[in-house]
Amino acid sequence: MASLIEILRSLANVRVLVVGDLMLDRFTYGKVERISPEAPVPVFQICEQKEMLGGAGNVVANLRALGCSVSVVGLAGRDADGDRVEKMLKECGARPMLFRPAGFPTIVKMRLIASGSHLSRVDREEPLPLLEGELPRITNIVRRMVQQADIVLLSDYGKGLLTEQTAPMLISICRELSKKVIVDPKGQDYGKYSGATLVKPNLKEFCQAVAATLPPPRARDFEPRLTELALALIHRLNIDNLIVTLGEHGMALISPQADPPFLRIPTQAKEVYDVSGAGDTSLAMLGAALGCGAPIEEAMRLANAASGLVVAKLGTATVTSDEIAHSLLQEETHDSTKFLSPERKIMTIDQAEKAIHNLRKEGKRIGLTNGAFDCCHLGHLRSFMAARQLCDVLVVALNSDACVRRLKGENRPVQDETTRSLLVASLEYVDYVILFDDDTAMDVVQRLRPDVLAKEGYTIDRWPEARFVQSYGGQVVTLPRVEGYSTSDLVHKMK
């Protein structure tokens, strides 16, 4: 956690260049209390209007909120809205270099909002005129600005600035000057992003780009299928990394340089009020962190935390470094409390069911293993460690004393269920412990429906719980046994 806070503190030293489609977001707040007598439509009564930078402008606003030094290249019309965009960029502390072709209106998106709900959106935009004549001048300007930046972000909203000519030109300059370039893409053809350091589509955009469908993110075959398709795209486009954002399921990194090449970061659970601009916030935080030299995994964790905060705000919003740091410290306090109080990890099946329901809303992957775990030894520890690597949350279902006696005889367990529960709950690999009385863990598995079921020594043909998990697409893993370690052996040696 300390390293994440240190990254946030260093963002003021990062110089970021943003190139992308600029827009003006206008939010009109009002109320609806009657139906029009002219037609069966609601009458919207305006109470307040707010304007914010949209598109790539929202990326700029987020970077400035984080404390970064920001330059921006974009387009605006020769109109009052274009003047407003340029003024707002300067007011937030950015250095704009705007191209303002004649006859091109500034893109404006107006949203009508009543009682916290979006009623309608009204857009004004026209196709961008061809810029071939401006390309040499744009190239020279961009080169100078790239030289002064630590990292370059391309925010493509498909409005015409980042074309098959301009995007490759920008990426080529970044490569030549050894600058990282991150792309938030648009459209189905990612060929124009060839050579980028990192491309960051959402799941829907990724599926469109590879012309394929994927199973749901919780499905057993989601990870290998996404990895396969992503690596093929990476090699075809000669890009270094791909991050696919998964909404409430977090984000996934696919990188040929990593081993394994797939890494998923779970989302931070927040009450969602408005997802407008959440992708811009994620791009800004990711770029800022990478710009100050942070490892990509830590940059992803910060981007997730920032996105989780911004969706709890209404409208195209930003978050500050202090807000993110406060959120991270709160999360750390919550987690440390869990590790300091093993008793709080021990719960009934009803309590576990509710807890896991909430964890699934956060996009967490639930794992389960079960056993008596009497006289906890190295074999048990290895099982917990291996199972925890397969999931975000590990639940251990523990046989009660009565159950162990039925299965193993009157002399077992050596340690009672209270002792065994506390010992297992004290391990950092274990998140929850449940006692069960049945001879099998089937009832627990049926009620919790884990994404991963892991246990040593069992084959599928004599493991009915595993067949049930497989029936709904869950993952089943037979853990390797550590030879020479068992409770029976320990009891024999002690005798």
Q: Which residue numbers are catalytic?
A: 280
Beta bridge partners of 34: 43
- 222-230: long-range contacts, CB 8 A cutoff, minimum separation 24: 223/252, 223/262, 223/264, 226/252, 226/254, 226/262, 227/254, 227/261, 227/262, 230/206, 230/254
Integer CA distances (angstroms), 294 to 2, 206, 299, 300, in order = 13, 25, 6, 10
Helices (H), 211-295: 222-237, 278-291
| Tokens 């270099």, residue located | 97
Which amino acid is present at 359?
Answer: L
**Two tokens at 375?**
């006289």
Q: Measured between alpha carbons, how far is 1 from 3 in angstroms, rounded to an integer? A: 5
Which amino acid is present at 155?
Answer: S
Q: Measured between alpha carbons, how far is 130 from 138 in angstroms, rounded to an integer? A: 13
Q: Measured between alpha carbons, how far is 119 from 345 in angstroms, rounded to an integer? A: 44
DSSP 439-475: SSSHHHHHHH--SEEEEES--GGG-HHHHHHHHTT-E
Q: Measured between alpha carbons, how far is 394 from 369 in angstroms, rounded to an integer? A: 8
Q: Minimal CA–CA distance to 25: which of 141, 94, 118?
A: 118
For residues 121 and 37, the answer to whether their CB atoms sit within 8 Å is: no
Q: Measured between alpha carbons, how far is 57 from 87 in angstroms, rounded to an integer? A: 12
Q: Measured between alpha carbons, how far is 342 from 461 in angstroms, rounded to an integer? A: 35
DSSP 94-122: -EEEEE--TT-PPPEEEEEEETTEEEEEE
Residue 417: alpha-carbon gap to chain centroid:
39
For 189-213, letters b (16+ CB in 10 Å) and e give ebebbebbbbbbbbbebbbbbbeee
Count the helix, strand and coil residues of the chain and give each as a percent rounded to the nearest 5.
45, 25, 35
